[in-house]
Amino acid sequence: MVEFMHAKQEECLNKENKKSRKGRFLLVYSDLSENLGIQAKDRIQQLCEQHQMIISDKKSVKLAATDLYRKNDPNYGPKSISSVILYEITRV
């Protein structure tokens, strides 16, 4: 899914002249998959490098874990340390 979004991002940014830096892409992402060990920690950075883009800004906020997750969810540990991240990605 992330690869598809990066491909679409690149397509949109490529509508601008290659010398233009006007294009930007906002990606809302959770690092839960990283904390579960099913995705590399630097996956977003890798995709940016692969598509000649850079992360120009990054903000994060912790996921809210409730008591319901604690009682019933075997993935409470990874969820409790996970964040939602907003990336601003631009062309190099």
Is a pLDDT exceeding 60 seen at residue 28? yes
Distance CA 24, CA 22 (A): 7
φ, ψ at 8 (rounded to 5°): -65, -40
Residues 6+ apart with CB under 8 A from 74: none
Burial class (CB in 10 A: 0-12, 13-18, 19+), 91: buried
The pLDDT value given to residue 64: 74
Per-residue pLDDT band at 83 (split at 50, 70, 90): very high
Is a pLDDT exceeding 90 seen at residue 31? yes
- Domain ranges, ordered by start, for the chain: 2-91
- What is the residue whose two structure tokens read 């690092």? 31
Amino acid at 62: K
**pTM given for the model:** 0.70
Distance CA 27, CA 42 (A): 15
Quick: pLDDT tens for 32-79: 999 999 999 999 999 999 988 999 999 999 887 666 667 688 888 888
